[in-house]
Copies of this chain bind each other. A is one copy, B any other.
Amino acid sequence: MSPELESCIMHFGEMGSRWGFNRTVGQMFALIVFSEDPLNADQIAATLGISRGNVSMGIKELQSWNLIRTQSVLGDRKDYFKPNGSIWDLGMQVMVERRKREMDPTLSLLRGQLMSHNNSDTNEYALNQMQQIHNLLEMFGSWFDDVQRMKPEQLKTLLKLGSGVGKVLELKDRLTK
């Protein structure tokens, strides 16, 4: 393996914890993404120098994120793993899962708190802040749901347009008034 590739894989390991998984899971993901052919668990363990059991757990984790899938290889009983789609697909998938893990639990807690009718003794200010956070998460969440349903090509156009979209909105406002 080239030193460039190796340092890339190590980097993904270091970043792993910031992206929501641990070092070896990050490395495993990078290795699978940068390998043209599907890899089996033994290959992953040998390449990264980690135990077979660790690989097994890492695979489970990556599958729970919908980032990898198996592919059977003719005449081999082992499971082979490859990325679950293009880089674009994987990026989207990471966002979907992070939203689930980082926003949904808080949104549902806040919804519960704000719904509950025995809030008479909770101070007004805190309650209002909770409402604000709830609204922000809800707005962002439903925006993401919406946007996710767009066709990748259209979404890419939108991304590239950036704040230019503000101009288009103004244009629309003028036209529809």
- Say whether A5 contacts B157, CB under 8 Å: no
Chain B residues near A86 (CB-CB < 8 A): 132
Is A164's beta carbon under 8 Å from chain B?
A: yes
Q: Write 17 A-B pairs (CB below 8 A) sorted by A numbering.
A: A8-B113, A12-B106, A34-B129, A35-B125, A35-B126, A36-B123, A87-B133, A91-B136, A139-B159, A143-B160, A147-B163, A150-B163, A154-B169, A157-B169, A158-B165, A165-B165, A165-B169
Closest chain B residue, CB of each to CB of A171: B172
- Say whether B2 contacts A123, CB under 8 Å: yes
- Say whether A11 contacts B109, CB under 8 Å: yes
Q: A102-B18, A169-B154 are in contact. Are A162 and B147 (CB under 8 A)?
A: yes
Residues 2-17 of chain A: 1 if any B CB is under 8 Å from the residue's CB, otherwise 0?
A: 1011011001100100
In Å, the complex CA distance between A166 and B161 comes to 12
Is A43's beta carbon under 8 Å from chain B?
A: no
The smallest beta-carbon distance between A18 and chain B, in angstroms, is: 5
Binds B, one of A49-57, A58-66, A73-81, A114-122: A114-122
In Å, the complex CA distance between A8 and B45 comes to 41
In Å, the complex CA distance between A12 and B130 comes to 12
Chain B residues near A35 (CB-CB < 8 A): 125-126
Q: A5-B126, A33-B129 are in contact. Are A169 and B166 (CB under 8 A)?
A: no
In Å, the complex CA distance between A121 and B5 comes to 10
In Å, the complex CA distance between A142 and B158 comes to 12
The smallest beta-carbon distance between A133 and chain B, in angstroms, is: 5
